[in-house]
Every structure is written in C-alpha cells, then in structure tokens.
Structure 1
C-alpha cells in the first residue's frame, strides 16, 4: 500500500448545453465518474452564459484486509463527496470556454478530511456541423489550485490536485435524429511533475451516451436548425423538458511515480455503465446520474470503485 493517500480530481467541463462530467481518481482505487447528459449540441449559443454545480458521491469497495493501525499504514478511503462549481460562456456560436473547480470531502473509518481541487479551464471549438452531425475539438489546462496537507485521520499526506500545470486535448462527436442523440468523446490530460516533483499520472477518458427526449424543453436548447435544409424548428419546444440517457464511461490512469520510483499499486482502467435522466424547466436543468462499475483492471493491490451518484443544478442566462 502507498505511504501517501493520493487524491486527484480533474474536473472535465462538458461541451453540451446541459451536461458535464467529472473524473476522479485516487490511489485507493476510487475509479472514475460518468457523463450526465447529452443532447448532441457541442457549443453554446453566442453570448449564452451557464452556471452549474454538481454533487458527486462515490462509494469505494473495501476488498482488501482492513487497516487497524493507521500509524503504520494509510487509512483507506471508504467514500468521497465532490462538490463542483463551474461556468461556461459562448464566445461565438462555434467557440465555448468553460472553467470548473471541485471541493472534495474524503471519508475513512478513522476520520474525514476535505480540500479544494485543481481548476480546469477548457475551450471547445466546433469544426464541423452538417446534417445533424457535429464535430468539435477541445483544448485546455488544469491549473494547480489544489491543496497538499497533513491528513486529519492518520500520519500521511492528503493531496487534492497534481500541483502542476497539465495540458488537455480532446475530441467530441455527436449525431442527432429528431428526439435521439448519440454522443461520444475522448479527452487526454498529460500530467507533468507536481508536488515534491512527483508524477501523479496522466489520464485518458472515453464516453459514449445515447439520450432520448421524452419532452423537449427550452432550457439550454435554443432552436438549432440546419440552414442548408430547413429554416424552421423541427420540434415543439415547451418550458418543461425531460430526457433519459444511458451509456458507457471509461477511464485510464497511468501509474504514479514518487521519489523517482513507480508505484505499482496505482493506476488502472475502469469502465462504468451509466443511466440517468435530466429534467429541465425554463432556464433550469437538473441532471441525475447513477453509474455502476463493469470493468475494473487495477494495477497491484488497490480497493476497487463502487457505485456513483451524481446530481447537477444548472442555470442558463
């Protein structure tokens, strides 16, 4: 087991009107998060402004022998709660910029701790949009706003964030058919050496989601048409909207390096099945997502991830 409790939160700000995702990885094997919602629209309208907050609960399976003496070993995490706050703004109809920062609450059997994580700034650039098929590219950076401090529950160190400037690149594709939307994206963050010149692992995510609009609402969904085929909206828009969705979310984390040595009890590939719904009213939206792990390829001895529960509150201006 590691001598340091490592907890890194990378908040991956979303590219659709009412969907965001956060990926969370920890040395205790907490696993990954999931996408909340997709509607096949990749950038905000020009001058559209969105404020969003997410409450994300992650359970951790205690599949290793329990720790009884925290003076010799770290107290493993049993769960964590991540409260995120973010903003998005449409610079043009093809360029959306966003920022999101998490605050993390860690829970163990011997005590709890908390701290602010790294701020992520991300740009989404639409490069193709025709016949309801869209393609966008992403680029951004994770800024070292996270904390490093002594733990409240044992004699180790709690690290929330990497302590380094880490570039990110991604790609998003979407296809819409009337009330259906299929969206897929991939994003890679290259982690550079951070706190105490340690390497806290690069990360890559993949997400595929299929959504169905039971009732098309007005929140975050201005009337979007393909000017080459039609200049009238194809669906009736109401104040109340309801969308259901499901899909798959995968995350790969590289092994950590501390004091120049690779930690073989770190890093993984995890995959989650996701299911949720999004209810919107006027300019408000409330996505709720449940995810269950279906793939857990952990390196070495680590506690595995459990279920995830995620609730969002989003307001468009």
Structure 2
C-alpha cells in the first residue's frame, strides 16, 4: 500500500493552526476568528468588503525514530487567500482557500487545499462585550496526487464535505481587547473512504493599542473620522488544537492524532484601510499519540485590505 502524506488544511479565513510529524501523516489548520484584526469587532459593517492573504511557515522537530523508508516532513508553508463581506452589521460571510508547500528530507511538494465557507453572526453586543456564533463547511477542493520524491500519495485536504461550528467573544477596555473562540470541524469520510480526523481549536488573545488608528473594521463613520491614519498594537495569547486519530482501510493509525498548545506573541500595524499582522507561535504542549515528531515554531504574516 502506498504511504499517504496527509496535509489537512482547515483554513477558515484567518490564523493559526496545527501540523505534524512525518510525511506519512501531516496536518495543519487555521482558526476562523478575527484575531488578526485585534479590535474586538466580530463582524464587518454592512457592505464592507475585505480581501486578505496570509503566509504561514511551520517547522517540525525531528526527535523520534522512523522507519528507514519514510520521508520526514521537515517544514511546511501555507499561503492563503480569503474574502469577507458584511451582509449586515451583524452578519459576515467569508471564504478562504489555501495553497500548501511541503518540505521533506528527500524532496518537496505542493498543492491547493480545501475551500472553506463560513458565516459569522454577532448575537450579543453591549457595553463593549460581543458574543458571536460561526457556522460553515469545508468543500473538497484539495488535491490527491503522486508525490515528487517517492511512491507515496500526497493528500492536501480531506476529500470530504465537513461541517464547521464555533463560538467567539470579545471584550474591550480602553486600549485593551480580549478575543477568544472555540471551533470544531467534524470530518466525514474522504479519499478512499478514509477518516482524516475531526479537529477542535481554542484561541485566546489579549491585545494592547500603542497607537490607535487605521480604518480597518471601524465601528462607524464617526469613529473613523476621529482616528488617525496609522495604528499599532501588540498582542499575546494561547492557541490550542486537537486532532483525532486517522483511520485508513478501517484501521486506526495509532501514530496519529495529537493535542498541541502554542504561546502566541505578535503585533499589527495599520495604515488607513490596510493592516499587517505578524505572529510568532512557540509550542508549549506537544501531546502526540504514538511515535510522531513534535511541532516546532511557527511564523505567520498577513496583509489585509478593507474596501
């Protein structure tokens, strides 16, 4: 049987992630939050349109022995392109598609990942406290192909229609904003009826405005006129992700599945309707099932434009 390089791309218009171990089992994800904005606003204004692109570089620690014929996954780079649109002030719809680059100890590969469609709904907003719900679906646009470096199969995406649900909140105090979310994607059977693992994400971030300004996601026109053209904030927090064990040919892969936890530190620069978030993630929890290499550091950079 051919080995499978599974690169699971759960990219829901924004940040973060998970990933993986060796070239027979790799995973990645990004949460569907607005944490890259770091302003505590969960949905866009009515008729506001946003285009965003991200580059996410992730390393993998080579700390465990593997079979001699396995191709170790050394790092990956996930680029993504997404759009958001404010249907009303309380409803935002969005879409994001990733493109993934795999780097192993014996060659590289790349391919387009699954398309994610999401709706975000603000259900409560009072006294600078916001609460929202999210619902969406991951469409099987990802590829499955022969690898460039051996006789394995590269899978980018799940090959299945996977529902997604989540909750998110924010609280704003003067120059500080707390944003958090929890997200769950239920994975159905994909390529060759294999199960590639459902995924759960948790995220909590606290930001501080050093310079208040910029126009991205402004609350209203009056506030927009008061703010300066340039904005700068810093933020830190925690990101966690859990993945089920994979199942191929009705057999559970004991060397798959995990829980990862990261400490995040970053900054966002804004100028008029442009925003540039940068995030460094350092692993603090590497709970892997079976024999797998641990996750390494991650670096994420974004470019966001509002219209």
Common topology (TM > 0.5) = yes
TM-score by length of 1: 0.90
3-state SS, counterpart of residue 234 of structure 2: strand
1:108-155 superposed Cα distances (whole Å, 9 cap, x missing partner): 121000000000000000100000000000000000000001111221
3-state SS, counterpart of residue 168 of structure 1: strand
Distance 1:196 1:278, change over 3 A: same
Whole-Å separation in 1 of the counterparts to 2:217 and 2:184:
28
> 1:279 aligned to 2:269?
yes
Whole-Å separation in 2 of the counterparts to 1:31 and 1:294:
17
Distance 1:305 1:7, change over 3 A: same
Once the two structures are TM-superposed, the CA of residue 27 in structure 1 deviates from its matched residue by 5.4
Distance 1:59 1:254, change over 3 A: same
3-state SS, counterpart of residue 12 of structure 2: strand
Between 267-276 and 36-45, report the one with greater CA deviation: 36-45
Whole-Å separation in 2 of the counterparts to 1:46 and 1:31:
32
1:141-194 superposed Cα distances (whole Å, 9 cap, x missing partner): 000000001111221111000000000000001100011100110000000000
Structure 2 unmatched ranges of 5 or more:
none
Whole-Å separation in 2 of the counterparts to 1:75 and 1:191:
26
Confirm or deny: 8 A CA contact 1:37 1:211 kept in the other structure: no
> 1:59 aligned to 2:49?
no
> 1:79 aligned to 2:71?
no
> 1:307 aligned to 2:303?
no
Whole-Å separation in 1 of the counterparts to 2:265 and 2:27:
19
Whole-Å separation in 1 of the counterparts to 2:38 and 2:186:
25
1:265-301 superposed Cα distances (whole Å, 9 cap, x missing partner): 0000000000000001011111000000000100000
Once the two structures are TM-superposed, the CA of residue 24 in structure 1 deviates from its matched residue by 3.9
Distance 1:146 1:31, change over 3 A: closer
Confirm or deny: 8 A CA contact 2:3 2:151 kept in the other structure: no
Whole-Å separation in 1 of the counterparts to 2:5 and 2:168:
33
Look up the match of 2:256: 266
Look up the match of 2:17: 23
Q: Where does 1:1-317 land on structure 2 (aligned, <5 Å)?
A: 3-13=3-13, 20-26=14-20, 28=22, 36-65=36-65, 69=68, 73-224=69-220, 233=223, 236-317=226-307
Once the two structures are TM-superposed, the CA of residue 37 in structure 1 deviates from its matched residue by 4.6
3-state SS, counterpart of residue 17 of structure 2: strand
Distance 1:221 1:215, change over 3 A: farther
3-state SS, counterpart of residue 88 of structure 2: coil
Whole-Å separation in 2 of the counterparts to 1:304 and 1:56:
18
Whole-Å separation in 2 of the counterparts to 1:257 and 1:74:
19
Task: Calculate the aligned-residue CA RMSD, in Å.
Answer: 2.0
Whole-Å separation in 2 of the counterparts to 1:32 and 1:12:
8
3-state SS, counterpart of residue 216 of structure 2: coil
Once the two structures are TM-superposed, the CA of residue 4 in structure 1 deviates from its matched residue by 1.8
Whole-Å separation in 2 of the counterparts to 1:211 and 1:39:
8
**Greater relative contact order (CA < 8 Å, ≥ 6 in sequence):** 1
